[in-house]
A and B are shown apart, each in its own frame.
Chain A
Amino acid sequence: MRPLFPPLLVRNIIIKSRTSQQFSRFFSSDEISSRDLVFKCFISKSMDPWTNIAFEEWLFKDTNPQEIILFLWRNNSCAVIGRNQNPWKECNVRLLQKHDIPLIRRKSGGGTVFHDIGNTNYTLIMPRIDFTRKHTAELVVRALTTRLDIPAYVTERHDIAVNGLKVSGSAFKLVMRRAYHHGTMLIDTDLDRIKRYLNVERQNLITKGVESFPSPVTNLCNYSSTVSHESFCEAVKDYFTEYYRDYVNHGSNKSATTVDEEFISNIPKVAEYREEFKTWEWVYGQTPDFTHKFEKEFEWSHVKALFESKNGIITAITLTPSNIKYHNLINALEDSFEGRKYGDEKDIDNALNDVRVSEQLSGSNIGGTSISTSEMQRVVNDIGKWIKESS
């Protein structure tokens, strides 16, 4: 008789349990089928960051929690911040906007990353009760070591590294019945380019929320001449499918489903999520409270600025000119900025224009000290430009 799995009943120790292929060796096949777990693999052909993250969300929220899902995807250039991060602290928002590079806030925790097509993402979705931080990373490492001959390993922080350099970072999301672990994998990314977008020196931006934990990184292509997005996906898909082979539906004749834009566009929920991910309210409005201080010496005065923001909106702004001549004009600007979206060019312009208009109407004689129209314009323009650059 085959030995069966001998569980330990221990009075003061809790049994850890995870989905296991060893588990399945000990049970007969009728027991496996009664457990209802199914393993599925999806590979995305789309490189649109919004589409992919919306599809991942749909896989997580709207499929059966008894499904263990592996999703492999990659994006065109985009910056991705963690659920509870401050975009202005983490990346150069102006530069991203200037270069038309999407900024995405994901739903899992963790730090900021930059994707391009040299980076491949993996997501493993599983029942909550089976979630552990090291599981997915371990399996990916094994796929790399056994099938691509890359000497990768799992670090203490549950990232993946080769030769002391990070190649993959990860983040997690847990809800009642389900959890996922998703991560990046640097295959052949332009590392210098990343630096430009994620390099932000903002000592005086003090924020709540999670700060990124930067580490030195490297690409997998430095350790293998055969690694590519395709070979990585193949290796990971094969390894995971083998590991979960007892839950694979052998009825369907393919091991993975390739999804393209068309397939995805036929799922209305995905389009819904896609829109939500794009809203200002989500990307910027979910920013935790922060303050930002900066100052500048203008020809006409030295000015200090202090911004306070909640939910991405400027809740308070204090501009302190050293020259009291402009005191009232500055007050007017302060009032105008309050309630505007932080770092938003349009809102800044609107704030400036409102002041221009109101001052022109009142004849630029503010509270006793007269300033010429051209002076007023100059101050407003200078302040406007400065605030745009600094925030």
Chain B
Amino acid sequence: MVPFLLADIGEGITECEVVQWFIQPGDNISEFDKICEVQSDKASVEITSRYTGVIKKLHYNVGEMAKVGNPIVDIETDSSNELESSLINSEVSPPSPSAQVQSINITEPLISGEKTHTLATPAVRRVAREHNIDISNIKGTGKNGRITKENILNYFYQLFHKTIAKTTHPHIEVVEDKLVPLSFIQKSMFKTMSRSLKIPHFGYSDEYILDDIIASRNLINDYITRNNQFSFNKISFMPIFIKSFSVALKKFPILNACVIDDDDANTAKLKFRRSHNIGIAMDTPGGLVVPNIKNVQAKSIFEIASDIRRLQEAREKNAIPPNDFQEGTITLSNIGNIGGTSLSPVIVSSEVCIAAIGKLQKVPRFEDVKDEVTGQLVEKVVGKHVIPVSFSADHRVIDGATVARFSQEWKNLLENPILLSAELR
């Protein structure tokens, strides 16, 4: 017997009134049959069934408030399987990234002092520290019961998946074989993904500490307020990210290239491109679009900010000119305002690399700080503003070390902003 939950109908609505039932206990119900009508402030929504079976129990009377996420009817199906909340019943489809989806924080107690009886090399201990895992929780499978790096990573991923299971919907289980045509979103994703499929992707992730950049940005914004010569009042992090991205890119021009004639390894060529036309993802009422900023290598941060402003204004009017969508060479996607830590962006098929930035968060980290009393360096826990960054690159022409080095270069520029000015010509 399956409790059918009232799906999240979006807009932060947590409960809605049951207006009428279309079925009664004892009725036979098929998938897609109407179950009831609910009302939330301005929306009247018909809830349809995901299951075929017999109605056992109605959890609410007409006029009562049904809670989102709670069972609304009980249905007896042929086999009892894990339920899932229906995608087709959300008002905003798919479910909106509201309370349910957050960045995954693995909560493990902070390491207090692990110089104990656990057998592990210093390198392995460091990996545990970096992942905020108490090494004493892990069982070692190495020589003499040593804890290996694999043990740590496995433990980490187990936690990761457990946390995902808690915060997202349980996996869909199919009750019986069924033919379902693709939805609108699925169809378009299918087509574009099939094209990008040609590119063998590999990923690389890191986290950058942005405390210094945050301070620098504040200084820049103060400057802007004092000098009224700009078309904007303040800048976001994007112009800084984009410019430093371009500076780092100068040392790794292969990431700005594109592959042509790639049907065969013998005919394939790499076209190195002089201009850094960096694509940035923008959300519009019509959907996600990726216009690019031309020639970032020759522009200042202010000029880039100005370009972004222009694109945003054009977006408001739904009138970004076609030229802005052409000739992009590499893409930088910032979904930090939505949330997320670990990302696997898909490369645009005329490029070889894409970077994605997640949500800026303040997290505890270890730092060697000079103790005021003793003058000694002591390891303390400090709050750091950290941002997760992920790359995907074309493994036919780019190797892991290149992306890793590029990331380190970009990270270096962002963590030490003064280096950015050292690159000025």
Contact = CB atoms under 8 A, between A and B. Distances in A.
Contacts of B285: 18, 134-135, 138-139
Interface stretch (B52-60, B67-75, B115-123, B181-189): B181-189
Contact of A12 (B40, B104, B192): B104
A18 B338 contact: no
B11 A4 contact: no
Most interface-central of B88, B317, B331, B356 (chain A CB within 10 A) = B88
Nearest to B187: A35
A129 B341 CA distance: 27
A350 interface: no
Majority-rule SS of A interface residues: loop
Interface in B9-68: 11, 17, 19, 32, 34, 39-46, 48, 62-63
Contact of A7 (B91, B189, B351): B189
B318 A209 contact: no
Given A18-B287, A146-B317, A243-B318, A209 B17 contact: yes
A130 B184 contact: yes
A19 B192 CA distance: 16
A23 B188 contact: yes
A208 B63 contact: yes
B345 A3 contact: no
B333 A8 contact: yes
B183 A129 contact: yes
A10 B335 contact: yes
Contacts of B124: none
A26 B288 CA distance: 12
Interface residues of A, number: 66
Interface in B305-349: 317-318, 320, 322, 325-328, 331, 333, 335, 338-349
A110 interface: yes
B101 interface: yes
Interface string B277-316: 0010100111111101000000000000000000000000
B382 interface: no
A129 B183 CA distance: 8
B344 A11 contact: yes
B95 interface: yes
Most interface-central of A110, A175, A243 (chain B CB within 10 A) = A175
Contact of A170 (B42, B88, B164, B346): B42
A249 to B, nearest CB: 18
Contacts of A11: 164, 340, 342-344
A12 B41 contact: no
Contacts of A135: 285
A3 B328 contact: yes
Interface string A205-221: 00011100000000000
Contact of A288 (B63, B95, B328): B63
Interface string A144-158: 001000000000011
A37 B348 CA distance: 26
B350 A142 contact: no
Contacts of B344: 9-11
Contact of A17 (B103, B184, B335): B184
Interface string A101-127: 000000111110000000000000001
A6 B42 contact: no
A13 B91 CA distance: 18
Contacts of A23: 188, 286-287
Interface string A77-116: 0000011100000000000000000000001111100000
Nearest to A24: B286
A270 to B, nearest CB: 21
24 contacts: A5-B288, A6-B346, A8-B346, A9-B345, A9-B346, A10-B335, A11-B344, A12-B342, A13-B335, A13-B343, A15-B94, A18-B286, A19-B184, A25-B325, A82-B44, A84-B39, A129-B185, A131-B92, A142-B318, A170-B42, A174-B43, A176-B46, A243-B286, A288-B63
Interface of B: 11, 17, 19, 32, 34, 39-46, 48, 62-63, 88, 91-97, 101, 103-104, 164, 167-168, 183-185, 187-189, 191-193, 195-196, 279, 281, 284-290, 292, 317-318, 320, 322, 325-328, 331, 333, 335, 338-351, 354, 356
